A and B are shown apart, each in its own frame.
Chain A
Amino acid sequence: MWLWFSKLGSPKWFYELSGKWLPWLIATMILFLVIGATWALLYVPQDYQQGLTNRIMYVHVPVASLSLSFFPLMAVAGTITLVWKMKLADMVVKVAAPLGAWFTALALASGSIWGVDTWGTWWIWDGRLTSLLLQLFLLLGIISLRSALEDSDAAARACALLSIVGCINVVVIKYSVDWWNTLHQPGTTFGMSSDQPNGPEFWIPLLIMGIAVALFFTVSLILATRNEILERERRSQWVQELVQE
């Protein structure tokens, strides 16, 4: 187990392993994305109230739920960076921040498009929206701290620390804005039979889209990490050999 852990920390090992996985991951992602998107856009029945607008759910829900996973991910990777000084973990913290910012921005944008039709407003200072907006600000803060610190080692640890502090803060912000103002719907529980609300004809495409977006997230994270590995290890022998080929 420990061997596996330290092996995983080696950028070279990760690069080679992820290189083997990537084609499969990308293929699965495209498959799920095509099926999910076609189903969601063309075949999901219209909602009895929202009509076609409802279909933005198939983008918004997967993206928004994934964007909540960035801070925990970065906090875990940051802890590993601080405690074990694993370079790979720092690379994950580094590439996850901009990716998280994009996901959060997309969640906000898709939610806002949905909101204009259902709530009657593009933006509202609701608990979930506000906490997601503040999460975006915190991520942007981490990105700008990284770019401001010249020393890569100091930047790695500073961002790791800020990710951990930020993760705690996202939780506190979430609770504080929740009792501040709430409009967003609660989470939906899905029914198993098609003659109930939230039947399979709604949630199966959502599940497929969820898997597709999660795969997209994984693939982007791996690709960005691979980029970062090449960038940082550009002077090492194995990267030189790779370039030669």
Chain B
Amino acid sequence: MKPHRRKRLGIILFIAAGLSVSVGLILYAMSQNIDLFYTPTQVAEGEAEVGQRIRIGGMVKEGSYESAEDSLQVRFETTDYVNSVPIYFEGILPDLFREGQGIVAEGTVDAEGIFQASRVLAKHDENYMSQEVKAALDAAGATPENHQLSPQPES
């Protein structure tokens, strides 16, 4: 092999080694919990520590919404249809906030297991239906899976 060929091969191997180790590191990182995004089940099972700042994503449980008469305080439960987590929030909710709708809340879990949200965002789901279809689906007793929020953020 000519010397310059060997040298070029050396560089290529060097670069390939660097890239493959970095791919390995990324794969390792993916296996670690780094984004602190929790589902209601994970919170309910106590995976999120008390006082830890996390984000929680789920649906607003039907019939759980309560608001104070004289202030902006609201209380509702978020659910992934397995477990629910009560959320307490004080502030203006987005227009799309309604029961059965997906939300993402940021905040902390307090000692009683209530999620103290500092921000609530409506996450509109990826399904589009005309009002008639929606009515028809509801009448037929559609399963919640049709408009269930994905438990993990997209990646």
- Residues of A with Cβ closer than 8 Å to B? 45-50, 54, 57, 117-121, 124, 127, 175, 178-180, 182-189, 194-199, 201-202
What is the bound-complex CA distance between A45 and B92, given in angstroms? 29
Residues in chain B within 8 A of chain A (CB atoms): 34-35, 37, 92-98, 101, 104, 121-137, 146-147, 150, 153-155
A201 closest partner in B (C-beta): B130
Across the A-B interface, the 7 shortest Cβ-Cβ residue pairs: A120-B94, A45-B130, A48-B134, A182-B153, A197-B127, A188-B126, A186-B154
A202 CB, nearest partner CB in chain B, Å: 5
Given the interface contacts A48-B134, A185-B123, A194-B133, does A119 sit within 8 Å of B128 by beta carbon? no
B-chain residues with CB within 8 Å of residue A197 when the two chains form the complex: 127-129, 133, 137, 146-147
Which among A117, A175, A185, A188 has the highest number of chain B CB atoms within 10 Å?
A185
Q: Which of B92, B96, B150 contacts A186 (CB 8 A)?
A: B150
With A120-B93, A121-B94, A197-B147 in contact, is A185–B126 under 8 Å at CB? Answer: yes
A179's partner among B34, B94, B98, B137 (CB-CB below 8 A) is: B34
In the complex the two chains form, what is the Cα distance from A178 to B98 in whole Å? 26
Q: How many Cβ-Cβ contacts under 8 Å join chain A to chain B? A: 100
**SS class, residues of chain B in contact with chain A:** loop
Cβ contact within 8 Å between A49 and B96: yes
Q: A118-B122, A178-B154 are in contact. List 20 more A-B contacts (CB 8 A).
A: A45-B131, A45-B133, A47-B131, A48-B131, A49-B96, A49-B101, A50-B96, A117-B95, A118-B124, A120-B96, A121-B94, A121-B121, A124-B121, A179-B153, A183-B121, A185-B126, A189-B126, A197-B133, A197-B137, A198-B129
Hey, which chain A residues are within 8 Å of B37, CB to CB? 182
Q: Which residue of chain A is the closest to B146 with respect to CB atoms?
A: A197
- B104: chain A residues at CB < 8 Å are 183
Q: Is the CB of B121 within 8 A of A199?
A: no
The answer, among B121, B122, B130, for a CB contact under 8 Å with A46, is B130
Q: Are the CB atoms of A187 and B126 closer together than 8 Å?
A: yes
CA distance A220 to B93 in the complex (A): 42
C-alpha spacing A187/B126, complex, angstroms: 7
Of the candidates A47, A124, A182, the one whose C-beta lies within 8 Å of that of B130 is A47
Within the complex, what minimum Cβ distance (angstroms) separates B43 from chain A? 17
Kindly state the separation between the CA atoms of A171 and B134 in the bound complex, as whole angstroms: 37
How distant is B65 from chain A, measured CB to nearest CB, in Å?
16
| A48, B129: Cβ atoms closer than 8 Å | yes
Contacts of B154 in A (CB 8 A): 127, 178, 182, 184, 186-187
Contacts of B101 in A (CB 8 A): 49
Name the residue on B nearest A44 (C-beta). Answer: B130
Given A178-B153, A194-B133, A197-B133, does the pair A54, B94 have CB atoms closer than 8 Å? no
CB-based nearest A residue for B37? A182
Please determine whether A185 and B124 come into contact, CB atoms closer than 8 angstroms.
yes
State the CA gap A190–B125 with chains docked (Å). Answer: 13
Contact with A54, one of B98, B121, B128, B135 (Cβ below 8 angstroms): B128
Bound Cα distance A187, B128 (Å): 12
Give min CB distance, A84 to chain B, whole Å: 21
Contact across chains for B127 and A188 when beta carbons are under 8 A apart: yes
Chain A CB within 10 Å, residue with most, of B127, B147, B150, B154: B127
CB pairs A–B below 8 angstroms (8 shown): A48-B133, A49-B124, A118-B95, A120-B94, A184-B154, A188-B126, A188-B128, A199-B130
